[in-house]
Amino acid sequence: MYEKIYEALKEEIQTGRYGIGERVPSEKELADAYNVSRITSKKALEMLAEAGIIVRKPGKGSFVADPEEQPAAAPPPSDSRSGSGKAKLLIGLVMTDFSDSFGTGLIYGMEEASRQSDSYLVLRRTFGVPSNEEEAIRGLRELGVDGLIIFPAQGEFFNAEILKLVIDKFPFVLIDRHLKGISAGSISTDNAAAAKLGTDYLFGLGHKHVALLSPPPMDTTAVEDRIEGFVQAHAEKGVVVDRDLWLEDITSTLPNAYTEENKAKDVEKIKRHLLAHPAVTAVFAMEYNIALLAAEAARQLELDVPRDLSIVCFDCPDNSGAFPFTHLRQNQEEIGRLAFENVLRLREGEPVPGKISLEAKLVLGGSTAEAARKVRP
């Protein structure tokens, strides 16, 4: 926007709307006229001053400069953040949060891609709060980023700032999920295929009563797709889907609710669920942190993992210690790399795929075993 304001004001000066020595609109007037922040309008005026087109006088305003009073032809304006003639690109990253199990790999892939393109990555976390997400998008745009990578907040179709990005044709890419009703590129795991792969593995071990542990779907496409894959695996194996075995209100793993108190409540919830459904011999957890809650619930119930209860989940940190979970490992670094590169392509006006889905890999750990022949009481 500051470039648009710069070009518009420059043209008005060149066409004579503002003559030499005349005052041009102030930061506030420009901000109101273009519906932007004063930071943005100030940037446009600073660029005009650097180019010798206007003169800024503190306390008085900005005035059209006299070209004859310039000691030399001013160089063309450049938003050079590196101090050289060529500006280095800044790509903003807006994401809920990150941890050893998920997120760190994404950032690693993006940062490597930024190095290869001589660009920089700017990170802002939202902790899953929609208002934080809106503020982060606004703030990064005011900072002057050249593109955005967005990991949307849990359960949001989209917020107003994302809609503005679409309207303004600002280069951005979504990761981990796609937003309904929004025409925007997205890069994620093929969550349905991955969930089916993990569920098929449990069926192959002889488990027929598999509990599903999930955060509230709340129109979050990643969770919805995983549920779809879980159901598809049942259908293909001829196993009846028992919705009573599903527990879809695990909330302590959400970014804005990850507290010890909430985790303890969810552990109790899982314990009651397992006691109410003694036929369950395996658990499919949507996330690594939910798998940890299931393992703790099993421990408190004196159930052995994996002899009494097998657990499969998405993602698991490499430093998980002596008890790594059998899990679906997402190709986080490749997702991050593709996201960064696609934003750069969009900035250059190149087309990118609307949706990219990458395969996940089943990694065997110590949390799964063949189903016990005798159903536990």
Q: Is the peptide bond before 377 cis (omega within 30 degrees of 0)?
A: no
Over range 61-66, report the average pLDDT.
87
CB-count burial class (<10 Å; 0-12, 13-18, 19+) for 153 = buried
Other C-beta atoms lying within 10 Å of the C-beta of residue 83: 7
**Residue that wins the pLDDT comparison between 99 and 245:** 245
Q: Does residue 161 sit in the same domain as residue 278?
A: no
In a domain, 368, yes or no: no
**Residue 232 and residue 247 in one domain:** yes
Predicted TM-score of the model (pTM): 0.72
Asked if pLDDT for residue 73 goes beyond 70, the answer is: no
Render 334-374 in DSSP notation, one character per residue. HHHHHHHHHHHHHHTT----SEEEE--EEE--SS--PPPSS
Within-domain flag for 152 = yes
pLDDT over 90 at 78, yes or no: no
Of the CA atoms within 13 Å of residue 81, those in its CB half-sphere come to: 12
* Per-residue pLDDT tens over the stretch 267-297: 999 999 999 999 999 999 999 999 999 999 9
Boundary of a domain, candidates 330, 350, 368 = 330
163 and 175, same domain (yes or no): yes
| Shared-domain flag, residues 231 and 291 | yes
CATH code of the domain containing 251:
3.40.50.2300
Residue indicated by tokens 């590169």: 341
Q: Which spans in the chain are helix H?
A: 2-14, 27-34, 38-50, 104-116, 130-143, 160-168, 191-204, 221-237, 260-276, 288-300, 332-347
Residue 53's CATH number:
1.10.10.10
What are the tens digits of pLDDT across the range 300-321? 999 999 999 999 999 988 764 5
Q: Say whether both 249 and 319 belong to one domain.
A: yes
Structural domain contains residue 369 = no
Measured in whole angstroms, the distance separating CA 2 from the mean position of its chain's CA atoms is 26
Give the pLDDT mean for 366-370: 95
Helices 260-276 and 288-300 sit at what angle, rounded to 10 degrees? 60
Answer left, alpha or beta for residue 188, where phi above 0 means left and psi between -120 and 50 means alpha. Answer: beta
Residues 217 and 320 grouped into a single domain: yes
Asked if the structure places residue 373 within a domain, the reply is no
Interval 334-341 mean pLDDT: 95
For residue 371, is it within any domain? Answer: no
65 and 132 share one domain: no
pLDDT at 254: 79
Range of the domain at 142: 90-188+332-358
pLDDT > 90 in the chain, percent: 51
Give yes or no: residues 137 and 60 share one domain.
no
Q: How far apart (Å, rounded) are the C-alpha atoms in residues 109 and 331?
A: 10
Same domain, 10 and 127: no
Could you read off the pLDDT of 134-171 as tens digits, one per residue?
999 999 999 999 999 999 876 545 677 888 888 888 99
Q: Are residues 323 and 339 in the same domain?
A: no
Lowest mean pLDDT among 4-18, 108-122, 234-248, 336-350: 4-18
Residue 135, Cβ neighbours under 10 Å: how many? 15
In order of 46, 140, 326, 367, the CA distances from 6 in angstroms are 9, 19, 56, 60
| Residue 376 in domain | no
What's the number of domains the chain is made of?
A: 3
One domain for residues 140 and 29 = no
Answer with the one of 69, 104, 128 that is the final residue of a domain.
Answer: 69
Answer whether residue 231 is part of any domain. yes
Task: Report the distance separating Cα 228 and Cα 374, nearest Å.
Answer: 30
Question: 226 with 314, same domain?
Answer: yes
CB-based contact 210:280 (threshold 8 Å): yes
Which of 120-129, 157-166, 255-264, 345-354 bottoms out in mean pLDDT, i.e. has the lowest?
A: 157-166
Tell me the residue type at 252.
S
Residues contacting 169, CB < 8 A, separation 6+: none
Contact 285, 258 (CB under 8 A): no
Reported confidence tier of residue 83, pLDDT bands at 50, 70, 90: very low
- Say whether pLDDT at 43 is over 70: yes
Domain presence at residue 375: no
Domain boundary among 37, 69, 101: 69
The angle subtended at Cα 256 by Cα 255 and Cα 258, nearest 5°, is 70
Question: How confident is the model at residue 321, as a pLDDT?
Answer: 54
